Amino acid sequence: QLQLVASGGGLVQPGGSLRLSCVASGFSLNDYAIGWFRQAPGKEREGIASISRTSRGGMTKYGGSMKGRFTISRDNVKMIVYLQMNHLQPDDTAVYYCARTTNWWNALDRQWYDAWGQGTQVTVSS
């Protein structure tokens, strides 16, 4: 059974860090790009970062405000994709989702993703 399970969210103070994990099962992680998205209340779901499938060498893409603060990586043996988030700010508060796609060229566009995890809440507050 195909599953993507996101975890690692929580409450963190401004300037703090979190590492999110997306555990994949039921399909070959090597064959898919994996993206992280987030959705804040009242806002659309936005693409944060994506990492290409193994045959593309694990290339990465980032949404504009995340580049330099967030780092996406993957461990194909453990079937996990990570999102390291540093220098978190209150505007980063949202539910964070991971998802898979075969469309690397539109890897920050949610419409190209065909399977989603359940989301993990990140709250940045003092």
Q: For the residues 73-92, what does the mean pLDDT come to?
A: 95
Q: pLDDT per residue over 7-50, tens digit each? A: 999 999 999 999 999 999 999 988 999 999 999 999 999 999 99
Sheet holding 80-85, edge to edge: 3-7, 18-25, 80-85, 70-75
Q: How far apart are CA 107 and CA 47, in angstroms?
A: 8
| pLDDT value at 57 more than 90 | no
d(CA 43, CA 119): 15
Q: How far apart are CA 64 and CA 42, in angstroms?
A: 20
**Does residue 66 carry a pLDDT above 80?**
no
Tell me if 10 sits within 8 A of 26, measured CB to CB. no
